[in-house]
Amino acid sequence: MSDPTRPQGPKIISIANQKGGVGKTTTTINLAAALVELGLRVLVVDLDPQGNASTGLGIEMEDRVHTTYDLLLGEVDLKNVVLATDFENLLIVPATVDLSSADIELISNEKRSFLLHDALRQTAMDIYALDYILIDCPPSLNLLTVNAMIASHSVLVPLQSEFFALEGLSQLMLTIREVRQTGNPGLRIEGVVMTMHDGRNNLSQQVEQDARDNLGDIVFKTRIPRNVRVSEAPSFAMPVLSYDETSKGAVAYRQLAEELVENNAVVRA
């Protein structure tokens, strides 16, 4: 039986696309930073063995003593896994390459697909008073991604404005459908966000039009432009909103955060 005295939990969103290089981690970092700017408390769960979200938020490798792998196994106190970042109200569970063996090591666990679901709903999470949890998924449809989807209320899909972008989307949609049938019937598509968009490029415009024609209203109105400041920011271990707050990329991620919050206010009403 659920505890009626417990606070309502945070909205949990997976940022997923099995195709690499589409702006998945960049979107996770900058959307999180933009939500924090709106006065919200956000936890980023780095579920990618490459650990780029951790690096992009300034978490040094020597500080990643406990990681998402420990969160999955539940053998370490939550306070040792959730780390503060240099950005107020923005927390992270970091990742290292240890996660790359998770598929093999967890396969014998009967609850292997629900480990992240249970970890993010333990009562010890309440102390963080989170509004959103953003999960940066690996660029593959493996056990880690399935864990993320079963743990999530919705999936946000970054879609690069390039040729063949829509082709890989069908497999992701099939995976989401399977997760609905097998472990999380309430999972929905949060939306598809066009990334690396160049409004001067005919191909970008055509890919966007195809996406809107095929997917309809689930495509966010906000488009993330191809912007050198967005590309530079991770090398300085900060979101573009801090690196260059007036850049086109920073402005776009603020608009995306506002659109996301507005959409959720409508859905939750």
What are the DSSP calls for the chain, one per residue? ---TTSPPPPEEEEE--SSSSSSHHHHHHHHHHHHHHTT--EEEEE--TT-HHHHHTT--GGG-SS-HHHHHHT-S-GGGT-EE-SSTTEEEE---GGGGGHHHHTTT-TTTTTHHHHHTTSGGGGGG--SEEEEE--SS-SHHHHHHHHH-SEEEEEEESSTTTTTTHHHHHHHHHHHHHHT-TT-EEEEEEEEEE-TT-HHHHHHHHHHHHHHGGGEEEEEEE--HHHHHGGGGTS-HHHH-TTSHHHHHHHHHHHHHHHHHHHHH-
Do the domain assignments include residue 106? yes
Output the pLDDT for position 62.
Answer: 95
Whether residue 100 is contained in a domain is answered as yes
Note down the domain range covering 233.
11-268
Q: What is the pLDDT of residues 124-155, one digit of tens each?
A: 999 999 999 999 999 888 899 999 999 999 99
Task: Say what the pTM is.
Answer: 0.93
Q: Name residues of the chain where pLDDT drops below 50.
A: 1-2, 4, 267-269
| Residue 56: CATH number of its domain | 3.40.50.300
The domain total for the chain is: 1
